[in-house]
Amino acid sequence: MSKRVTIDPVTRIEGHLRVDVEVDGGRVKKAWASGQMWRGVENILIGRDPRDAWAITQRICGVCTTVHAMASVRAVENALQLEIPVNAQYIRNMIMLAHAIHDHIVHFYHLSALDWVDVVSALKADPDKAAELAQSLSNWNGNSKAEFRKVQEKLKGFVGTGQLGIFTNGYWGHPAMKLSPEVNLLAVVHYLQALEVQRYANKIVAILGSKSPHIQNVAVGGVANPLSLNSQSVLTVERLLAVKEWMLKLDDFVKNVYLVDVAAIGAFYADWTKVGRGITDYLCVPDIPLDGKGTTFALPGGYIEGGKLDSFKPIKTFGDQYFVDGVSEAVKHSWYDYKGGNNQSLHPYKGETTPNYTDFQDDGKYSWLKSPTFYGKPMQVGPLARVLNMLAAGHEPTKKYATGALDLVSSIAGTTVGLDAMHSTIGRHAARAVGCAVQSDEMIKQWDLLVTNMAKGDLTTFNKPVFPKGEQMGVGFHEAPRGVLSHWVVIDSGKIANYQCVVPTTWNAAPRNEKDVPGAYEACLLDNPVADPEKPLEVLRTVHSFDPCLACAVHVVDEEQRPVVTVTAAASC
């Protein structure tokens, strides 16, 4: 007999996500992903000055704080066909990359590792053996025996008081937890070190962006950072040297800890390469523009159909027509109505945001998320889509880190693990780490490009926008940490006439579309194992592998309906 499990809210994410699954014979047979909040930011923008949109849309989310600012200014610049100074691109690029690296480190260690790592088991570890294991994998200077003993003592302190502190309410001792006590301790040591290291990324964002979270330095036309080679009151070489030092510290952690841990933990959970495949149509946009117009990019983007790299179709420039023509959103299963009827899918320039809340209807409306499609098909977006597209585009750094990670996984697992293993729950973590190493290299390159250009005497950071009479339309896209983000603006004589955000988590956590085809979470959950419906850890593993952000996706909270089992899936935050 099938059993309905409702996880509401899913925790260790941003925003309010409800996931329902029907479990039969220990496997998921049907799944629903539901966004449980709505704020209507798109409607708030109507009638406003397009130069203010970035500051407002950035408040969509407290996690991916920079990304909406960037997508927004890009949308308005695209509408005006406004070129920006190359220094502004470099500064924006460094902010986006530092933010992405922060996001990935925090996602792996603090938001999802505890689905795989049993903190309580780490108490039983031999700390010296655990440190030796860590040293055999990497020469990171935080892998000493003294450090491992210290962390284990600290853990014992928590447990000795009968309280697990930040580790309360995890599924400790769950049968799906497979790591040895030593590997568990290794992961806990790095969990705590990651809390320290992530600050460097935020410092970079704060210095270049004037504030974090929610940067203050962007403007339609460039950035508001005055550059100088000698003044102390602006972004000077001294500050930039401090930024470079933090970049190198992050780089050390990403390459020698994060990438290694993901490969090691992935190897121990090799059976999870067969879970969570779901949608294998992958979309990603190019990013890290190298010129003022956005015609050349450091990181390529495109579309891959059915997981086949040779089907790759590139997305080449800002405003790329192939991308622009492909995107639309449906509301048949979402709590909105379209004037022309709910069986259609609307292009974002014609998008409508008219709420119509019902209750949670399994076969009707059940989410505040719309259902985006690319040429009529739901997509998977995010780190896996990014890495596969970059591989398909022949991006050498991606090839280097992906090959290195798969070789390490293969040597620890004692069997050859190939690229096909990436289409999975654990593969999404591996792809995130591989992409993060690529981003770290690129961030340092962007620093060099800025400093070299400043040395040539070019200190320009802003081109003033001019708003003509009449209507202009523009799209701004950005490859945000969770995937393809696009903002679509219609401007009428200097005022916003329509504004739509089509966001990474909207792509991935979408409800069924106008043709009743499930979104990526729903598809990837099918056939997931569930050993104990009262503790659906395995469902969380797959959902967390996407790093949900519902605040972004729906830009009101309702009570859950008719659950057989309701589980508050906790641990940490």
Sole binder of ligand NFE in the list 551, 554, 567, 569 (CB under 6 A)? 551
Query: Quick one: which segment of 88-96, 187-195, 495-503, 564-572 binds Mg ion (CB under 5 A)?
Result: 495-503
Cβ proximity to ligand NFE: between 393 and 501 the closer is: 501
Cβ proximity to ligand NFE: between 64 and 265 the closer is: 64
Close Cβ partners of 448 (under 8 Å, ≥ 6 residues apart): none
Q: Cβ distance 189 to 142 under 8 Å?
A: yes
Q: Whole-angstrom Cα distance, residue 495 to residue 554?
A: 23
Q: Closest by alpha carbon to 54, among 202, 201, 209?
A: 209
Q: Whole-angstrom Cα distance, residue 508 to residue 520?
A: 5
Q: Tell me phi and psi for residue 321, to 5 degrees.
A: -65, -35
Q: Cβ distance 279 to 378 under 8 Å?
A: yes
Burial class of residue 310 (count of CB atoms within 10 Å of its CB; 0-12, 13-18, 19+):
exposed
> How many other CB atoms are found less than 10 A from the CB of residue 252?
17
Sole binder of ligand NFE in the list 5, 13, 31, 67 (CB under 6 A)? 67
> Taking CB under 6 A as the rule, does residue 279 contact ligand NFE?
no
Q: Tell me phi and psi for residue 271, to 5 degrees.
A: -65, -20
Q: How far is the CB of 79 from Mg ion (least distance, A)?
A: 18
Q: How far is the CB of 381 from ligand NFE (least distance, A)?
A: 8
Binding mask 439-478 for ligand NFE (x = CB under 6 A): ----------------------------------------
Query: Quick one: which segment of 184-192, 196-204, 533-541, 550-558 binds ligand NFE (CB under 6 A)?
Result: 550-558
64 binds, among ligand NFE, Mg ion, none (CB under 5 to 8 A by kind): ligand NFE
Q: How far is the CB of 64 from ligand NFE (least distance, A)?
A: 3
Size of the residue set binding ligand NFE (CB under 6 A): 16
- One-letter-per-residue 3-state SS of 376-445: CECCECCHHHHHHHHHHCCCHHHHHHHHHHHHHHHHHHCCCCCHHHHCCHHHHHHHHHHHHHHHHHHHHH
> Taking CB under 6 A as the rule, does residue 431 contact ligand NFE?
no
> Taking CB under 5 A as the rule, does residue 436 contact Mg ion?
no
Cβ proximity to ligand NFE: between 99 and 365 the closer is: 99
552 binds, among Mg ion, ligand NFE, none (CB under 5 to 8 A by kind): ligand NFE
Sole binder of ligand NFE in the list 185, 257, 552, 567 (CB under 6 A)? 552
> Taking CB under 6 A as the rule, does residue 106 contact ligand NFE?
no
Q: Cβ distance 142 to 257 under 8 Å?
A: yes
Q: How far is the CB of 499 from ligand NFE (least distance, A)?
A: 14
Q: How far is the CB of 554 from ligand NFE (least distance, A)?
A: 10
Q: Whole-angstrom Cα distance, residue 61 to residue 266?
A: 30
Close Cβ partners of 158 (under 8 Å, ≥ 6 residues apart): 164, 165, 167
- One-letter-per-residue 3-state SS of 136-153: HHCCCCCCCHHHHHHHHH
- Which residue in this structure is represented by tokens 């050498």? 396
Q: How far is the CB of 484 from ligand NFE (least distance, A)?
A: 9
Query: Quick one: which segment of 47-55, 66-74, 229-237, 493-501 binds Mg ion (CB under 5 A)?
Result: 493-501
513 binds, among Mg ion, ligand NFE, none (CB under 5 to 8 A by kind): none
Calculate helix-pair angle for 396-413, 259-268, nearest 10 degrees.
40
Sole binder of ligand NFE in the list 201, 283, 426, 480 (CB under 6 A)? 480
> Taking CB under 6 A as the rule, does residue 543 contact ligand NFE?
no
> Taking CB under 6 A as the rule, does residue 64 contact ligand NFE?
yes
505 binds, among ligand NFE, Mg ion, none (CB under 5 to 8 A by kind): ligand NFE
- One-letter-per-residue 3-state SS of 289-333: ECCCCCCCEEECEEEECCCCHHHCEEECCCCCHHHHHHEEEECCC
Structure tokens at 64: 């991916």
> How many other CB atoms are found less than 10 A from the CB of residue 91?
25
Q: Whole-angstrom Cα distance, residue 385 to residue 306?
A: 11
What is the enclosing helix (H) or strand (E) of 567?
strand 565-569
14 binds, among ligand NFE, Mg ion, none (CB under 5 to 8 A by kind): ligand NFE
Q: How far is the CB of 476 from ligand NFE (least distance, A)?
A: 11
The amino acid that residue 547 corresponds to is D
> Taking CB under 6 A as the rule, does residue 127 contact ligand NFE?
no
Cβ proximity to ligand NFE: between 193 and 202 the closer is: 202
Binding mask 501-540 for Mg ion (x = CB under 5 A): x---------------------------------------
> Taking CB under 6 A as the rule, does residue 485 contact ligand NFE?
yes
Query: Quick one: which segment of 282-290, 392-400, 458-466, 544-552 binds ligand NFE (CB under 6 A)?
Result: 544-552
Binding mask 486-505 for ligand NFE (x = CB under 6 A): -----------------xxx
- Residues forming the site for Mg ion (CB under 5 A): 501
- Residues forming the site for ligand NFE (CB under 6 A): 14, 61, 63-64, 67, 480-482, 485, 503-505, 549, 551-553
